[in-house]
Structure 1
Amino acid sequence: MRMVFRWFGEGNDTVTLEQIRQIPGVEGIVWALHDIPAGEAWPMERIIEVRDQALRYGLHVEVVESVNVHEDIKLGLPSRDLYIQNYIDNIKKLATVGVKVICYNFMPIFDWARTDLHKETEDGSNALFFEKDKIHGIDPLELVSSITRNSALTMPGWEPERLSQLTQLFQAYREVTAEDLWDHLAYFLEAVIPVAEEHGIRMAIHPDDPPWSIFGLPRIMTGADSVRRLLSLVDSPSNSVTMCSGSFGANPANDIVSMIGEFHEQIPFAHIRNVKVFDNGDFIETSHRTQDGTVDIAGVVKAYHEHGFTGYCRPDHGRHIWGEQCRPGYGLYDRALGIMYLWGVWDALEQARAGKEVSS
């Protein structure tokens, strides 16, 4: 297991590279050029700049999250070929600085959705919260306003250039079905996967967050069946999955441990986080500790350990604790605590394995 940490760039993150390198076992950053609109080519000098910034602190840049997919590709419009070519060019550029994994998603319009970014919990911390009934009654524009309000930092998945076209996008998706979206994903993958494989990069799709339809928009990466279908679209080691225990785990019907067992060879990148799911379908993000949520985090780590996982892993969203002022879900303190919990489980499994080998 190779531990990495998401970083949004100089001037766009409350967490510094100096702080990241002090977290035990963290070897690299998970990064992107967040100011470049989806579909555009990334300037090579900017890519090199981030690579050099990380190297100064002994960190690598082997995981990118995300090279966003333009909506025209998801919609299957004739203009998609231009944006796919830009995507291919970005893959080639990223390979030159040592990128091994590109995490991406294929969610229409919204990459993720929450109804409260600072829900107060019993211990006084705050966390990202999803109220299922509220999402059915809220106007999408109201949700956008609540998520982007008073934010001096970019919100991944809620980029201004996309949200400014919200009404038009909803109109465009009105006739797009889930089967259409699968067809458009297949078209995209058939074009980019051969290039990624040639350049030693694994394209790792992120599950839908949450893993069900919102605002009537189709969502297709929701559980084990969808992962099987994805992997059948293009037979290549570069066609792979970002296994996010929090996104899939928002639906308790998803058995994350079982999914790791089935798909471990196609998981180059893991997001490990916990959520507490309530009986009415609401969920809140918790600490990484197994007992604090619905996801068996200890079991998740054990599954990776049993299958000899050598891919990249990052603690996903954390709570806001100790008065930290940060991008929602992306502070330093709780994510660092999460890393140490994950390492604790991993190290205990390593010790147990060593003892078993000695005794045998």
Structure 2
Amino acid sequence: MKQTWRWFGTHDSVAIDEIEQAGAHGVVTALHHIDNGEVWSCSEIEKRQQLVATRKNGQPSNLTWDVVESLPISEDIKKQDNDWRNHIDNYKQSLKNLAAAGIETVCYNFMPILDWTRTDLSWPLPNGARCMRFDYIDFAAFDIHILARKGAEESYDSAVIQIAAERFSKMDDAAQVQLTNNLVAGLPGANQKLSLNDLRQLLDGYGGIDEARFKKHHYAFLEEIIPTAEQLGIRLCCHPDDPPFSLLGLPRIMSTEEDYRQLIEAVDSPSNGITLCSGSLGANKNNDLPSMMERLGHRVHFLHLRNVVLDKQQTPGSFYEGEHLAGNTDMVALINAVLNEEERRKKAGRKDWNIPFRPDHGQDILDDLNRNAQPGYPAIGRLKGLAELRGVISALEAVKSGNISVKQL
């Protein structure tokens, strides 16, 4: 399992030097400054590679850009309107430019309008740490009373509607603005920052696009792109919906194991793969991540390892970002399944046997509380997560190699 670290560029509060010191062997990054649908030029790709390869003092680092996260898919492509065919051509050209730079793994998502979504970006925990949280009631209050989406109440049951109304009645103007900013202003990795009016206009553009039609659009995108990816030796890997259920009445089509099974069968190619995010999928109690890895692992090209704690065992529902080894996902069992898949790949002679993973998100602890880092991407919180995950990997590898028995652990 190759240890990587997400980096947002020169404005990131975590420097390349610190990523090296954390023990990561590769970097996950993207050209967030380029508008969705535009071509990633060779010069811009090379510029980012040079930044990754250079420490603050100008000396070379030992890091390389290993995974693209993400090469965004425009709303035009998702809806198949306006300039979507030109955006398809641009996407192919970006893949060609990435391949020319030696980059083979490209993560993307197919979530409509909103990328990953949280209602609170700094939620206090009993031990003084802070984390991100998705509160289903707060989201309903935003949807029904702040955004005032037409037909919003049809998306919620009567109990949620009532509690959301009570919650909204206690929000002052500042609380409403903060909730709105958390939801629509753009989180790390998003290539757009929206206003309420922007969001309303985008929602209007999805009228008549249900789940079945949205899946057809996704598969049509892959039918266009995957032949190019195959020729280039690129592995595309789709990130799941976050959270894994419908928001704002929009279709969400990458939320379950069945969604992924249909995806890889729709366009059956090694280049059509999966980003297995244990946090996103783990927000649905019915998703068994270790079993998903066992059954679909041959198409998993990238891993996000994190955990969420569910308020209640219901979907949709509220959750917060937990410690990496504590939450809805059995992380030890998941990592064991990943190591088993890597062993199968080695025996089959696959060159992609070493699956890249990154410690996804993290709680703000210690000096993180003063750094004002990108939400969900603190230095020390992720370092703690990487250390925990590395410990699990080392212990399981020792057992598998016969150097230590389970009883000795």
What range is the shorter-chain TM-score in? over 0.9
Q: State the distance in 2 between where 1:349 and 1:79 align.
A: 49
Structure 1 residues 17 and 163: alpha-carbon distance in aligned structure 2, compared to 1, 3 A threshold: farther
Q: CA RMSD in A?
A: 1.9
Given that residues 229 and 236 in structure 2 are in contact (C-alpha distance below 8 angstroms), is that contact kept between their aligned partners in structure 1? yes
TM-score normalised by structure 2 residue count: 0.82
Given that residues 25 and 63 in structure 2 are in contact (C-alpha distance below 8 angstroms), is that contact kept between their aligned partners in structure 1? yes
Q: State the distance in 1 between where 2:82 and 2:13 align.
A: 40
Deviations along 1:83-109, whole A, 9 cap, x unmatched? Answer: 010100000001111111110000000
The aligned counterpart of 1:63 is: 67
Per-residue deviation, 1:162: 8.8
Per-residue deviation, 1:337: 1.1
Residue 283 of structure 1 pairs with residue 319 of structure 2 = yes
Tell me the percent identity. 38
Q: 2:354 aligns with which of 289, 300, 310?
A: 310
Q: 1:131 aligns with which of 127, 135, 139?
A: 135
Letter in 1 for 2:320: I
Structure 1 residues 166 and 351: alpha-carbon distance in aligned structure 2, compared to 1, 3 A threshold: same
Given that residues 100 and 201 in structure 1 are in contact (C-alpha distance below 8 angstroms), is that contact kept between their aligned partners in structure 2? yes
Structure 1: segments with no counterpart, 5+ residues: none
Q: State the distance in 2 between where 1:147 and 1:57 align.
A: 36
Q: State the distance in 1 between where 2:287 and 2:36 align.
A: 30
Higher CA-based Rg = 2
Given that residues 119 and 127 in structure 1 are in contact (C-alpha distance below 8 angstroms), is that contact kept between their aligned partners in structure 2? yes
Given that residues 37 and 161 in structure 1 are in contact (C-alpha distance below 8 angstroms), is that contact kept between their aligned partners in structure 2? no
Letter in 1 for 2:38: E
Structure 2: segments with no counterpart, 5+ residues: 54-59, 148-176, 343-352
Per-residue deviation, 1:298: 1.2
More displaced, 164-173 or 223-232?
164-173
Letter in 1 for 2:193: P
Q: State the distance in 2 between where 1:194 and 1:27 align.
A: 30
SS in 1 for 2:25: strand
Structure 1 residues 162 and 93: alpha-carbon distance in aligned structure 2, compared to 1, 3 A threshold: farther
The aligned counterpart of 1:322 is: 366
Given that residues 32 and 191 in structure 2 are in contact (C-alpha distance below 8 angstroms), is that contact kept between their aligned partners in structure 1? no
Q: State the distance in 2 between where 1:40 and 1:120 align.
A: 39
SS in 2 for 1:269: strand
Q: State the distance in 2 between where 1:80 and 1:269 align.
A: 27
Q: 2:44 aligns with which of 39, 43, 46?
A: 46
Q: State the distance in 2 between where 1:338 and 1:9 align.
A: 21
Structure 1 residues 180 and 109: alpha-carbon distance in aligned structure 2, compared to 1, 3 A threshold: same
Given that residues 63 and 99 in structure 1 are in contact (C-alpha distance below 8 angstroms), is that contact kept between their aligned partners in structure 2? yes
Per-residue deviation, 1:155: 3.0
SS in 2 for 1:318: coil
Residue 351 of structure 1 pairs with residue 398 of structure 2 = yes
SS in 2 for 1:175: coil
SS in 2 for 1:176: coil
The aligned counterpart of 1:146 is: 182
Q: State the distance in 1 between where 2:394 and 2:305 align.
A: 16
Deviations along 1:295-346, whole A, 9 cap, x unmatched? Answer: 1111111111122262110010111111422111001111111111111111
Per-residue deviation, 1:268: 0.9
Structure 1 residues 181 and 148: alpha-carbon distance in aligned structure 2, compared to 1, 3 A threshold: closer
SS in 1 for 2:303: strand
Deviations along 1:39-77, whole A, 9 cap, x unmatched? Answer: 111132111011122223111112000010000111111
Given that residues 206 and 242 in structure 1 are in contact (C-alpha distance below 8 angstroms), is that contact kept between their aligned partners in structure 2? yes
Deviations along 1:189-226, whole A, 9 cap, x unmatched? Answer: 01111111111111100000000001101100011100
Per-residue deviation, 1:146: 3.1
Q: State the distance in 1 between where 2:197 and 2:386 align.
A: 36
Q: State the distance in 1 between where 2:383 and 2:213 align.
A: 40
Q: State the distance in 2 between where 1:158 and 1:128 align.
A: 20
Given that residues 75 and 181 in structure 1 are in contact (C-alpha distance below 8 angstroms), is that contact kept between their aligned partners in structure 2? yes
Structure 1 residues 188 and 164: alpha-carbon distance in aligned structure 2, compared to 1, 3 A threshold: farther
SS in 2 for 1:21: helix
Given that residues 74 and 106 in structure 1 are in contact (C-alpha distance below 8 angstroms), is that contact kept between their aligned partners in structure 2? yes
The aligned counterpart of 2:34 is: 36
Letter in 2 for 1:97: A
Given that residues 148 and 158 in structure 1 are in contact (C-alpha distance below 8 angstroms), is that contact kept between their aligned partners in structure 2? no
Q: State the distance in 2 between where 1:37 and 1:319 align.
A: 30
Per-residue deviation, 1:144: 4.1
Q: State the distance in 2 between where 1:230 and 1:130 align.
A: 27
Residue 231 of structure 1 pairs with residue 278 of structure 2 = no
The equivalences for 1:100-179 within 5 A come to 100-139=104-143, 143-147=179-183, 155-157=188-190, 159-160=192-193, 165-179=198-212
Number of residues of Structure 1 aligned to a counterpart in Structure 2 = 351
Q: State the distance in 2 between where 1:67 and 1:57 align.
A: 24
Letter in 2 for 1:352: V
Residue 339 of structure 1 pairs with residue 395 of structure 2 = no
Per-residue deviation, 1:160: 2.3
Q: State the distance in 1 between where 2:191 and 2:201 align.
A: 16
Q: 1:296 aligns with which of 307, 330, 349?
A: 330
SS in 1 for 2:111: coil
Given that residues 31 and 40 in structure 2 are in contact (C-alpha distance below 8 angstroms), is that contact kept between their aligned partners in structure 1? yes
Q: State the distance in 1 between where 2:127 and 2:194 align.
A: 37
Given that residues 36 and 191 in structure 2 are in contact (C-alpha distance below 8 angstroms), is that contact kept between their aligned partners in structure 1? no
Letter in 2 for 1:91: L
